A and B are shown apart, each in its own frame.
Chain A
Amino acid sequence: MIWKRFKKNKLAVAGLIFICISLLVSVMGYIVVPDHTADVNIMYPDIALKKPGFSCNYLKVKSKSSEKKTKSFFSFFKGWDSDFDLISIDTFWQKNDSIYFKNYNNLLIQNIHKSEIYNLNNISLKRISVLGTDRYGRDLLSRLVIGTRVSIAVGLVAVFISVIIGLLMGLLAGYFRGWVDGVIMWLINIIWSLPTLMFVIALTFAIGKGFWQIFVAIGLTSWVELARIVRGQVFSIREKEFIQAATVMGFSNIRIIVKHILPNIWGTVIIMSVANFASAILLEAGLSFLGQGLQPPAPSLGQMIKENYAFIVFDASHLAIFPGLMIALLVMSVNFIGNGLRDALDVNE
């Protein structure tokens, strides 16, 4: 029934498809991206600032770093080191026991011993940087995917935290009223009177700047609106006679709240959560842009814009445009879904 009505809204369905694809790609994350090292941080200074669709040959040589992380379950979240290093080249040839090669766009000929090659049967590989490379020669597509993953994760966790706190606070304030409502509203008003960005920055100073800290900081600020709306809804539902009937029937407060009030406000909560999801993504991007979010080299959309916005006026504007576009598309899709849901869940129609 709800799905039937939701389907009618073309934009919402388009948003849903886009979010599903982004979700799928970012869940797979390091498995699907070309560069699967932690934080997508392998730099190729030779091929910095290349246009989208740039392709180049690489020589596979044995990895120099002595300590190598083994692939484990956590690699799925953090990425893993390659067994080999890559050197970007124009051409290479074999002579005796040495491999001679010319670095990319470099006339100088260098050579290395055969033993340093990772696999003699398959000395080189060709790779296309679909979205080009940034100023350190890092693959932009990989960074974009992992950055999107961070954004979606921030959105989900922030929504999760805000729904738990907001729902609890809203239900308590709306149901018990009196001094409980007074205390919670006091808290809400205080948090509301602080500019959100300032508050999150202050929080990150207190609890540190990292992956999980961002989640907590954003979650702790975005419950406020949800709590207020839930409170208002509970106020009106509480006055309905079926709640009085439940009280007369001898139901406990918890039962009334969970079984009789909560199912009647799910629609509102879902719609609010979707809106919170979008604003959490924006907030994270803003924080990262200001340098208060994820710390480099970890990729996040806001931080990618920050790193690259200077290039907008040069010939590499795509470096800032792609992450910017990604943020815009994510937020827009989420908002379309929210609008679609609001219409679909509206009982009055």
Chain B
Amino acid sequence: MSLIKISEFNAIAEDIHLVKDVSFDVDEGKITGIVGESGSGKSVTCMGITKLLPKTVKINGNVLFTKNDGKTIDLLHCNENELTKLRGKEISYVFQEPMTALNPVYTCGFQVCEAILAHQKINKNELKSKVLNLFGEVKLPDTERIFNSYPHQISGGQRQRVMIAMALANNPRLLIADEPTTALDASVQKSIIDLMVEMVKKRGMSMIFISHDLNCLKSVANHIIVMYKGQIVETGDKNKIFENPSHPYTKALMKTRPDYKNAGYILPTISDLIGQNENGEFFEKKFEVIKRNKNLIGNKILDVNNITKSYFKNSFFAKNKNSQAVIKGISFSAYSNSTIGIVGESGCGKSTLAKILTNLEKETSGDFKNLSTDKSKIQMVFQDPYSSLNPTITAGEAISEPMIVNKINSKKNTKQETLKLLELTGLTADFYYKYPHQMSGGQRQRVCIARALSTKPSILILDEAVSALDVSVQSQILNLLKDLQSKLSLTYLFISHDLNIVGYMADEIIILKNGKIEEQGKLPEILNNPQTEYTKFLINCIYN
């Protein structure tokens, strides 16, 4: 029996169809996964069915929900009062960012209590024991301490567990999870997903699980919905989707993923794989797998020698300085025309290492030598293309400024050189006069890469450079990076938390844990024959 039945759901903002004619059912006790890129309408749909969207977005359609007492109501025709009674009690949400979804000025326990009191009358002692039980159920350690902790005092994974406890507090019948693990580390992701699936199964609830990552749904969903540009392009049973996808977009999604196995090949992008004819129907394009020329690894270009970094807690009253070591002795060498992948969880010191190599911070001890012949500085591409470009400066200015400041070209040549860089990174000349807000995320990241290349560096640090991008854009940028490397013989230090992408990009790999190198070596050897427990665990998290 279906718990919620959505038919012909539309969301329109300023005459643009955000979601068009979406219909699907969620059966009782079943998990439905929705996969799609940003802008595919997956979040809009799930917010829209309980009218959580801003008033400027017009919605219509039918959303029939079967309540606890057996009555069926149409959620889109309920008034705000009725919906408030439903939200959190019968339908509850878990969001992507656990830090912002919890209020930082209240303790975790208080917030869960509040969620319960909004829908149930319960006395004080019972309430607390109920919350502690819930915390135990979501496998939080030391429940009493967490009850009294503020959100910033616990880790990201624990915060997400608190969020799940809050969502489960009133025994809802439907749980809607909107990218609940995207903001978490790879190693934590798996345990959170496992927990959610276990909870849902144990309580006989239904769940809608939204993700941009098809692989992530593999171990979760019974039923998968693929969305693209506001429409459902394919729905079906999990096995059917994975083993026998019928829609070109679904097939493209699977092929475009960077992976250790397709490392030597040019990644197909979504637009290489599918097209749209005049009637708006999608068709499959022929795509031939093209093998890349193997990089000839050159001379040693960077020598990092036992770098450590500690932060001192400078206290005004206390005389003794507490130091906290973030990096505890890292040594490696990089060779020209090759890529070193640096993998680790958040807090393992990988970003601090990048900052030290680009002189943003000073190392506490140890040193590194830039052995490139022209002694050009090490440049860096940052994670977030939205905050790494100055919003008040055009792309052209952003790219030419480093050349002017570092006196690399004469004024005349600078514009010429800038246009060349734009072309090199796959942008047209008219981007010279565009401001960041006029560009998409992928285009911004291309500008960032062009800017980093403007000083002609031989070493480029890519700090999570593709993590914030959509799957289809990600593959384009990765291809671009590979092309640039063979054209300019660049050395990349590719920092990422995603072992899949590193597997595609890197020749060598360094696995960091708590500021120490856990394992380092040639990529295939590490992946096929991991030595340490931690590496085995990481690989297991991703390649299962």
Contacts and interface: CB of A to CB of B under 8 A. Distances in A.
A252 B405 CA distance: 9
B392 A249 contact: no
B389 interface: yes
A248 B388 contact: no
B392 A242 contact: no
Contact of A250 (B377, B384, B387, B390): B377
Contact of B360 (A244, A252, A255): A244
Contacts of B389: 242
Contacts, number: 61
Contact of B405 (A240, A241, A255): A255
A264 interface: yes
A248 to B, nearest CB: 5
Nearest to A240: B387
B377 A245 contact: no
B379 interface: yes
B238 interface: no
B391 interface: yes
A242 B455 contact: no
A319 B358 CA distance: 69
B453 to A, nearest CB: 11
Interface string A27-47: 000000000000000000000
Nearest to A252: B405
B451 A241 contact: no
B167 interface: no
Nearest to A255: B405
A248 B388 CA distance: 12
B185 interface: no
Given A249-B451, A250-B406, A251-B405, A242 B387 contact: yes
Interface in A250-271: 250-252, 255, 259-260, 263-264
Contact of B382 (A244, A252, A264): A244
Given A248-B360, A249-B402, A264-B390, A241 B383 contact: yes
A247 interface: yes
Nearest to B384: A241
Contacts of B451: 245, 249
A334 to B, nearest CB: 26
A155 B162 CA distance: 54
Given A248-B377, A249-B451, A250-B406, A242 B390 contact: yes
Contacts of B401: 249, 251, 259
Given A250-B377, A250-B455, A245 B388 contact: yes
Contact of A249 (B379, B384, B393): B379
Interface in B350-391: 355, 358-360, 377-380, 382-384, 387-391
B448 interface: yes
Band of interface residues on A: 10 to 19
Mostly, the A contact residues are helix
Contacts of A245: 380, 382, 388, 448, 451-452
B469 to A, nearest CB: 15
Contacts of A259: 393, 401
Contacts of B405: 249-252, 255
Contacts of B382: 241, 244-245
B390 A249 contact: no
Nearest to B390: A242
A244 B358 CA distance: 10
A291 B448 CA distance: 60
A244 B384 CA distance: 12
A263 B389 CA distance: 13
Contacts of B379: 248-249
Contact of A264 (B377, B380, B391, B455): B391
A254 B400 CA distance: 18
Contacts of B388: 240-242, 244-245
B455 A249 contact: yes
Contacts of A252: 405
B460 to A, nearest CB: 11
A220 B33 CA distance: 62
Nearest to A264: B392
Interface in B292-343: none
A134 to B, nearest CB: 52
Nearest to A251: B405
Interface of A: 240-242, 244-252, 255, 259-260, 263-264, 347
15 contacts: A240-B388, A242-B387, A244-B355, A244-B380, A245-B380, A245-B448, A245-B451, A245-B452, A246-B390, A248-B358, A250-B377, A250-B406, A251-B401, A259-B393, A260-B393
Q: Can you list the 8 inter-chain pairs with the closest CB atoms, starting with the nearest?
A: A241-B388, A263-B392, A241-B382, A249-B402, A248-B358, A240-B387, A242-B390, A241-B387
